[in-house]
Amino acid sequence: MTNPHTAEITVTVNGAEQTLTVRHHWSLLDVLREALGLTGAKRGCDRGECGSCTVLLDRTPVNACQVLAIRADGHDVLTVEGLAPAGELSPLQQAFLDEDGGQCGFCTPGFVMATRALLDGNPSPTDAEIREALSGNLCRCNAYGRILASVRAAAACAS
């Protein structure tokens, strides 16, 4: 008998197709963290205010806590784990490390993913464009100056 509260979805996560049974109210963040064990996207506020859960849905940054998992059916999701599948840091992650772009690091995956989306569309952003692109991401440690430096460095090594 089919369960009226669940649905089967097929989603490509970090290049691998996954078929999962999800409850209708589960968020994409629930599925990534609880069902798939991808804990890079962080649950900060769980209400769309902090950006620590940022992932790319069809290359667009979204707050995974605010996207129903069933909405991801048939779509492509990139998480921070997918940036460096070989276990080494991507140049973007390395730039955050080199420039000390975080303190506790809780917000860092979200900033990294928002930066990835920014640089995909605009490889040489101005500081104003960086601030605008990252305006949905909050850092409780107030590391914004180092984060800005990290994005500048990532852009420089990508160009």
Q: Phi and psi dihedrals of 69, rounded to 5?
A: -60, -35
User: Of 12-20, 69-77, 88-96, 103-111, which part binds ligand FES (CB under 6 A)?
Assistant: 103-111
**Contact between 39 and ligand FES (CB under 6 A)?**
no
**Contact between 52 and ligand FES (CB under 6 A)?**
yes
Q: CA neighbours within 13 Å on the CB side: how many for 59?
A: 4
Q: How far is the CB of 19 from ligand FES (least distance, A)?
A: 25
Q: How far is the CB of 77 from ligand FES (least distance, A)?
A: 14
Q: How many helices (H) and strands (E) does the chain have?
A: 5, 5
User: With contacts defined by CB under 6 A, how many residues of the chain interact with ligand FES?
Assistant: 22
Q: Phi and psi dihedrals of 64, rounded to 5?
A: -65, -25
Cα–Cα distances (Å) from 7 to 11, 12, 25, 77, 139, in that order, read 13, 16, 10, 18, 35
Rounded Cα gap, residues 157 and 11, in angstroms: 31
**Contact between 13 and ligand FES (CB under 6 A)?**
no
**Contact between 105 and ligand FES (CB under 6 A)?**
yes
**Contact between 65 and ligand FES (CB under 6 A)?**
yes
Which residues are near ligand FES by CB under 6 A? 43-46, 48-53, 63, 65, 102-107, 139-141, 143
